[in-house]
Chain A
Amino acid sequence: MKALAVLEQRDGALRKISYEIVTAAQRLGGTVEAVICAAGPVQGADQVAKFGADTIVTLTSPTFAKYAPEGCAQAIAERAKAGGYTVVLFAASATGKDLAPRVAAKLGVGLAADCTEIAVEGGSIVATRPVYAGKALLKVKVSAKPAVLSLRPNIFTPVERPKSGTTETVAVSVPAGRVVVREIKAAEAGALDVAEAQIVISGGRGLKEPANFKVLEELALAFGGQAAVGASRAVVDAGWRAHADQVGQTGKTVSPTLYIAVGISGAIQHLAGMRTSKVIVAINKDKDAPIFKVADYGVVGDLFEVVPKLTEEIKKLHG
């Protein structure tokens, strides 16, 4: 068993999701090689040794300063072919979702995408992936050589299992590529993506109008930069919130530690997108709303009274 864990960086700094990929690779019980494409040394890359990387290889090319889909796919696929890996693991992040299918196709195999469990059973890689937006779980045996999988963010909690983490830098020669990332327009400072945040506070029609989302934003701020504000399909379709914030079957599937649904009745396609959250809180004035069926804790009441009170209490905690 030899695993290739594909790490991610942005602007030369390791992305934390990399810890999750190494943690999952390490769990398979063999050696773990971590690999990352970058223009030069990656700040923090050596940290993955703590989570079980035997070796950490940086593949460098000047074209890797920003994400280079074609160059990275070629470099990773060549590494995967040469190294004799049993399994190649990606994050099912924005970049991983773009990169993993390209690499899999170059290797002539399919991709088990967005897995929430992986294991070795009878010598084969077995993975579980939510389908129908989490309304069912599909268990698959991946017999492709190598097995190529991507892992859902926030599921594989990083666990420290220190290894030697020998580092190596290899300059690779890849063409500039036809698909070029020209720039990255940053979202508002400090804005977290709903798919990666530890705490998600989502609002629905109960908010009544777009400006009222500020009560949720204030609550998010009270959590000190760990919380993102999400939205139901109804309010995204109404143009109140960005598509990027939509949680549900035609939006994002999220698994935060804490999900707070505010003024959301709980349509089946919304529940599908957030039911794997560790703890769910619902705040709704309708005590019969379906959201209370999946919520661990419910508060029945006017959100414009309940949410500010919650913000106040959270501020006290973090005060």
Chain B
Amino acid sequence: MNIAVCIKRVPDSETRVKIASDGKSLDEAGVKFVLNPYDEFAVEEALQRKEKAGSGEVAVFCVGPAAAQETIRTALAMGADRGVLLQSDRIPADGYITAQALAAELKAGSWDLILFGKMAIDDYNQQVGPMVAELLGLPCVTAAAHLEIDGPKGVAEREIEGGVEVVEFPLPAVLTADKGLNEPRYPALKGIMAAKKKPLEVKPVQLGAGGIEVLALTPPPQRKEGKIVGEGPGAVPELVRLLREEAKVL
């Protein structure tokens, strides 16, 4: 089974966001970058599918700056076979541009599955996976939290409001992974050593700006200082009064 996994380098979820001097981007000083958490589920799923099939390859693709090689190495240390960095210092705000770059690269391959995380925890764009599917003319299931594959057919479950959608699809297909799909493995020392020798190809790409232009990145409005109503159950009647009369939410 040949599986492509598209991954992203993102700031760790514990990052305190500081705005850069251009007023439009994150100040990256002191920020720890990691493999996007949802992409870990995609990498893990690919590894398990390949192990089950007993043959094939797991290749990792990433659009990002030179430093994203480190992110690709993380996926290689988990067990992926090779990596490709489509190197661009800037990732456009327009997800369609990123999707075009990935689709152009993936077109040449013969993939049974193309996996993504359901979203990146930095830009929250949640679109590149299904857009790549459209560009390649492949069926796509987004936010899969459970997956079964039997030969050329798959069944995925995705969470919707108040329930779970059970979705059937044929392979080859594009899937985006939600939390719950699996438990991503931690790279073992042996894997980390092996990853250093695995092929990692770097291809510079020129990405257009697209149709979405960043005007500003700003901190969210500060919440006004709250108050401690009191201690213990005795404070509850006053809390309820405040919620009714001051906040007017009850």
Contact = CB atoms under 8 A, between A and B. Distances in A.
Interface of A: 67, 69-70, 73, 93-95, 97-98, 100-102, 104-106, 108-114, 126, 129-145, 147, 178-187, 191-193, 195-196, 236, 242-244, 246, 249-251, 257-258, 267-269, 272, 275-276, 278-281, 287, 292-302, 305-306, 308-310, 313-314, 317
Interface in B116-154: 121-131, 133-135, 139-143, 145
B17 A135 contact: yes
A94 B179 contact: no
A105 B143 CA distance: 18
A243 B145 contact: yes
Interface of B: 11, 13-17, 19, 26, 37-38, 92-97, 99, 121-131, 133-135, 139-143, 145, 155, 157-170, 173, 178-180, 210-220, 223-224, 226-233, 235-237, 239-240, 242-244, 247, 249-250
Contact of B127 (A113, A130, A136, A242): A113
Given A131-B122, A313-B240, 6 more contacts: A144-B210, A180-B168, A180-B169, A187-B164, A298-B226, A301-B233
Contacts of A278: 247, 249
Contacts of B223: 275, 280, 294, 296
B124 A133 contact: yes
29 contacts: A70-B139, A97-B142, A98-B143, A101-B131, A101-B134, A105-B130, A110-B94, A111-B96, A131-B122, A132-B15, A135-B15, A135-B16, A138-B93, A139-B217, A140-B213, A143-B211, A144-B210, A179-B140, A179-B167, A180-B169, A184-B160, A185-B166, A250-B38, A268-B14, A281-B239, A292-B228, A296-B247, A298-B229, A314-B240
Q: What is the predominant secondary structure among interface residues of chain B facing chain A?
A: mixed
B14 A269 contact: yes
A136 B232 contact: no
Q: What is the predominant secondary structure among interface residues of chain A facing chain B?
A: mixed
A137 B228 contact: no
B231 to A, nearest CB: 5
B127 A100 contact: yes
A108 B210 CA distance: 10
A144 B125 CA distance: 16
B160 A94 contact: yes
B236 A140 contact: no
Contacts, number: 282
Given A97-B143, A187-B162, A144 B211 contact: yes
Given A268-B16, A296-B226, A143 B239 contact: no
Given A269-B13, A299-B236, A193 B161 contact: yes
Contacts of B239: 281, 297, 299, 310
Given A269-B14, A301-B233, A138 B228 contact: no
Contacts of B135: 105
Contact of B121 (A132, A192, A281): A132
Contact of B231 (A195, A244, A300): A300
B135 to A, nearest CB: 6
A111 B228 CA distance: 42
Contacts of B38: 250
A31 to B, nearest CB: 22
Nearest to B237: A313
A105 B134 contact: yes
Nearest to B233: A309
B139 A279 contact: no
